[in-house]
Amino acid sequence: MSADHIRVTFERALTAWNNKQVEAAKAACEDVLAAEPNHTHALHLLGLLAHHVGESARTVDLIGKAIVLQPNNAAFHANLGAAFEVLGQRPAAIASFDKAIALKPDSAAIHYNRGNALRTFGEGADAVASYDTAIALKPEYAEAYINRGSALNAMGQTDAAIASYETAVQLRPGDFKLHAMLGALLQEHGRLAEAEALARKAIARDPANAKIHSTLGYLLQEQGRWMEAEACFRLSIALGPRNAEAHHKLACLLQVQGRLIEAEDNCRQAIALQPNDAGAYGTLIFIRDLTDATTTASAQSERRHWAERFAAPPS
């Protein structure tokens, strides 16, 4: 294989990798290495491909060979650190990230990934320090704020965690999952008014998002504002008729108000949309127990159906 052919083949491998065509990228890398066994970037890319499919030990071998040939490549050391992290080898992982940082101290991504590794190994305070460095280098680094918040929350530093998530939300205002993460943390610590305000801001940005209306409904229900909560659940269902979660939440709200027929109807709709939802089945059985018209035979039939579908097998 000529030098030009090797170059074109490796470019094909990179294109395939960028397009998530793992097998094509692997085949092209192997072709390159068959012609030029010491092609550092092909070794590195093949190592990344191995990591992608869960073969981290092979990743260590391949990227280790690339590092022998090109010891001052920061990306190689950082990706080796990620492989050691997956293998649970804490000293080797952190040493690799530290070497990458020594070679490229201004890389926010490397500091961020070092933080992720430290968090994986249960070293929250050191992880936060790495995230702080990443943020100092890249102030708009939303992912670093998110993982920093998660690390702080795990350490019991709730206010600092919430502040970190809030900054991430400001950086990525359209990220519903991030709004939900912060909202859940606020709710967990009884800060329902703040969680409600966050949900309303999300709705202002995306008024057709059925899930956000359902989330707001739940927050309003928790505050005893049942009429407003019901309106939110019904709007969520109107926006997303196949939203099983909203049907189930509405059923629970109607049940506590004694509106059992409506509650049962919504619960059955939730089950029809999501037949494997054990929670919805449990709610249905509870509602049926409260309904005067329910016969013992029909109630037992519902229970048998639940048990057949969800009960754990005998040990």
Residue 18: inside a domain? no
Kind and range of the H or E element at 107? none
307 band by pLDDT with thresholds 50, 70 and 90: low
pLDDT of 309 strictly over 80: no
Residue 288: inside a domain? no
Residue 166: inside a domain? no
Q: Provide the pLDDT for residue 51.
A: 95
Q: Provide the pLDDT for residue 119.
A: 97
Residue 264: inside a domain? no
Least confidently predicted of 1-5, 133-137, 153-157, 265-269: 1-5
Residue 11: inside a domain? no
Kindly state the DSSP code that residue 314 receives in the 8-state scheme.
Answer: P
Residue 194: inside a domain? no
| φ/ψ of residue 251, rounded to 5 | -60, -45
147 band by pLDDT with thresholds 50, 70 and 90: very high
Residue 48: inside a domain? yes
Q: Which has the higher per-residue pLDDT, 122 or 2?
A: 122
Residue 134: inside a domain? yes
Mean pLDDT of 227-240: 97
Residue by residue, DSSP assigns 53-98 as TT-HHHHHHHHHHHHHH-TT-HHHHHHHHHHHHHTT-HHHHHHHHH
pLDDT of 4 strictly over 90: no
b/e 56-73 (16+ beta carbons within 10 angstroms → b): bebbbebbebbbeeeeeb
Q: Is 275 helix (H, G, I), strand (E, B) or coil?
A: coil
Range of the domain at 78: 38-139
pTM of the shown model: 0.79
Instruction: Quick: pLDDT tens for 24-57.
Output: 999 999 999 999 999 999 999 999 999 999 999 9
Q: Provide the pLDDT for residue 1.
A: 74
Least confidently predicted of 181-185, 256-260, 285-289: 285-289
Q: What CATH number has the domain bearing residue 99?
A: 1.25.40.10
Whole-number percent of the chain with pLDDT over 90: 84
**Do residues 87 and 56 touch, judged by C-beta distance below 8 A?**
yes
Instruction: Quick: pLDDT tens for 203-229.
Output: 999 999 999 999 999 999 999 999 999
Q: What is the mean pLDDT of the chain?
A: 92
pLDDT of 306 strictly over 80: no
Q: Which has the higher per-residue pLDDT, 167 or 297?
A: 167
pLDDT of 201 strictly over 80: yes
58/83 Cα distance (integer angstroms):
9
Q: Provide the pLDDT for residue 19.
A: 92
Instruction: Quick: pLDDT tens for 88-119.
Output: 999 999 999 999 999 999 999 999 999 999 99
What is the separation of C-alpha 246 from the centre of its chain, rounded to a whole number of angstroms? 21
What's the total number of domains in the chain?
A: 1
